[in-house]
Amino acid sequence: MATTDLHFVSGALAPVKRGMRFLGGNVDDGVQVDAAAVSIVAGNHTTGTFMADICVPDAANTYTFMGFGDANAVEYVTFSVEEGSIHVMMVKAGPTTQIDVNTPEDSIIPHKIHNVAIVQDGNVMKIYIDGKNQALTWTVSTRREQWFDDLNNIDGAHIGAADSVAGSGALTNEFKGYIANVRLWSDTTSTAALTAEQVNQAMSGTLISTADLHNSWNLDQNIFDEGTGEDDGTIIGDLIYSDFNEFSSRLTFLETTPLAADNVNIMCHDGIGYAYSILSA
C-alpha cells in the first residue's frame, strides 16, 4: 500500500446546522418555489433582504444558492458563491444587466458555515457575511437600487440552482454543499430592508420584521414556508435533509472515493471529528 492509498480528513463538529445537502453537478436539483417569485414580482417589491446559512466544499466553482428566472425571456436573478466570493446578478429582459457585484475574494471559506444576507434598501445593495457588511466590487451598477419591481417576466425560483438564466427553463450552476434557514423579507416599505443590527439579530435566530417576512424555509426535515407568502417548496432531484458542520462537509465531499462502503473509519475526540478511508488494496 502506498501513502496515497490512505485519505485522512478532520474537522470541527461545532457549530452545527440542520438543513439540506445539495450534491452539485449538472443534475437539475433544487427546491422549486415559483409562487414566491410570482408574488414578489406582482407586488412590485422595491426593498428586501435575502438571508441563508450556507456551506460549500471548495472555492473553485460557481454554486447558486438562490435563483429566479423566466423560461420565455432572458430575465433572471442569481445569488451565488463564485470562487470564494458572494456574487449577485440581476438581469432585466433585453437582456440588460442591472447589477453585477461581488464581495472580496476568499470571503467564503470552504467547509465553514457562513450566514449570507443580501439587502436592498431602495438606494443601494449591501451584502453581509456573518453579520459584517462587505466591501463590494461593482462590475455593473446600472441600477444599484434594483430589486424585483420591474423584473416583470420572472415567474420561477429555485433554492439551490440558477433558474432559466438563458430563458430556457433549465437549472444551472447547481449548488454543492449545504443550505439552511432561507428567509426572504420583501415589500415596498423600508422595513423589509434589514439594518446591520437586525441582520445580526436575524442571523442569531431572532424573529425580525415578521410582517415583511415573505418567505421562510428552514429546510429542517421539511420544505414548508413559514412566511406570509406560504409558498411550500417542491423538491426536484436528489436532495438530502442533513445536519452539517465542518467535519461532515469535509467527509461528504471527499475528492476521492473509497473502494467500498465499509472502509471509511470515523471517530471523534475533544470536539474534532476524524476519518480515514482506504483508497486501494
Q: What is the pLDDT of residues 231-267, one digit of tens each?
A: 999 999 999 999 999 999 998 987 666 555 557 788 8
Give the DSSP H or E segment for 72: none
Kindly state the cell numbers that stand for 231: 409558498
Weakly modelled stretches of the chain, pLDDT under 50: none
Q: pTM, whole model, 2 decimals?
A: 0.94
Most distant CA atoms of the chain, gap in Å: 65
- 46-57: per-residue pLDDT in tens? 999 999 999 999
Cβ(129)–Cβ(107) below 8 Å: yes
Q: Which residues are paired to 118 by β-bridges?
A: 50, 127
Amino acid at 154: I
Residues 195, 202: contact at Cβ < 8 Å? no
How crowded is the C-beta side of 227, counted as CA atoms within 13 Å? 28
